[in-house]
């Protein structure tokens, strides 16, 4: 996930779970502006009492605390985060310089926009996205946007990565093929959710950099291969899931041939950049279940023939 770009395509956002929370925050104020505004100083004492009750189990509605309240009070009092019903990923995490940024990303960009799989949220929290972007873009690493990584490629926005991974319905232990390694971020997320990840990148320098980065960060269950992603990777088939981070004109037959029975292919299909639709193809013997997952914008899937004709 990162080799092909990938932004959720929304011509107009009139509110709702898919909105950019920064742009549509109440009063037009970004959730990153956490400093007290008029009227909030006096409320902090009350909020802190509620937080203390929530942490000790004395308040039965801990799940109703807003994520912004938890972040602000956690920062003020040195508390990491209130555990909410069904959550096991936001607490008990080792401290690092970007942990709060990743928590904000998970709460505001993912959970608030419909990403519900706890394992996916956990992986998105744990993977250090800031290590997968160029140094000059680290301050923007957790923003809700794709970022350039060189060679006319991008690292996909966090929501797109989480959305595709959740759509793959991974339970752990699966063998996954990713098309479009990019900086290696998507493969790192997948490594938390599956047994083995094979990822194909057509640009050798990107592949080499991603391989070294993943190795340095300890992702031992990821194998980076240089090749034509449109052909899949027959060497290690069959795969339980195939995730494609560039838009194909049609579903490549190689992916169909290399998918295990019951496996899922998550892929954007359509014209270059816009007018693309994300699909999930699930193999049922000789039959296929097809789910429309909505509109996105990706760079096109480049084949060896495309490169030869360039």
Please list the active-site residues.
156
Closest CA to 279 of 167, 157, 159: 167
Neighbours of 189 (CB within 10 A): 27
Closest CA to 129 of 120, 138, 121: 138
**Sequence-distant (≥ 6) Cβ neighbours of residue 190 within 8 angstroms:** 1, 165, 170, 176, 178, 197, 222, 243
Q: CA-CA distance, 7 to 156, in Å (whole number)?
A: 7
| Tokens describing residue 226 | 């240089």
Q: CA-CA distance, 276 to 278, in Å (whole number)?
A: 7
**Sequence-distant (≥ 6) Cβ neighbours of residue 35 within 8 angstroms:** none
């Amino acid at each position: 996930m990162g080799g092909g770009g990938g932004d959720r395509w929304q011509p107009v956002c009139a509110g709702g779970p898919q909105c950019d929370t920064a742009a549509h925050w109440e009063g037009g104020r970004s959730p990153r502006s956490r400093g007290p505004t008029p009227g909030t100083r006096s409320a902090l004492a009350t909020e802190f009492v509620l937080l203390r009750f929530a942490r000790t189990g004395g308040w039965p509605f801990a799940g109703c605390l807003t994520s912004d309240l938890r972040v602000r009070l956690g920062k003020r009092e040195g508390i990491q985060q209130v555990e909410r019903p069904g959550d096991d990923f936001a607490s008990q995490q080792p401290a690092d310089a970007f942990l709060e940024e990743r928590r904000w990303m998970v709460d505001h960009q993912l959970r608030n926009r419909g990403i519900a799989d706890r394992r996916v949220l956990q992986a998105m929290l744990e993977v250090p996205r800031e290590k997968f972007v160029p140094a000059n873009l680290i301050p923007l690493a957790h923003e809700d946007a794709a970022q350039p990584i060189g060679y006319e490629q991008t690292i996909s926005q966090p929501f797109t990565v989480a959305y595709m991974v959740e759509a793959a319905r991974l339970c752990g232990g699966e063998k996954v093929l990713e098309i479009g390694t990019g900086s290696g971020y998507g493969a790192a997320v997948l490594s938390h959710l599956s047994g083995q990840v094979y990822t194909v990148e057509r640009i050798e320098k990107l592949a080499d950099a991603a391989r070294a980065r993943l190795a340095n960060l300890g992702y031992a269950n990821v194998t980076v291969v240089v090749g034509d992603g449109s052909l899949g990777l027959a060497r290690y088939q069959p795969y339980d899931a195939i995730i494609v981070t560039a838009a194909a004109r049609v579903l490549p037959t190689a992916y169909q041939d290399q998918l295990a029975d019951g496996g899922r292919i998550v892929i954007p299909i359509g014209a270059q950049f816009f007018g693309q639709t994300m699909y999930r193809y699930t193999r049922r013997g000789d039959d296929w279940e097809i789910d429309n997952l909505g509109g996105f914008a990706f760079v096109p899937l480049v084949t060896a023939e495309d490169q030869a004709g360039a």
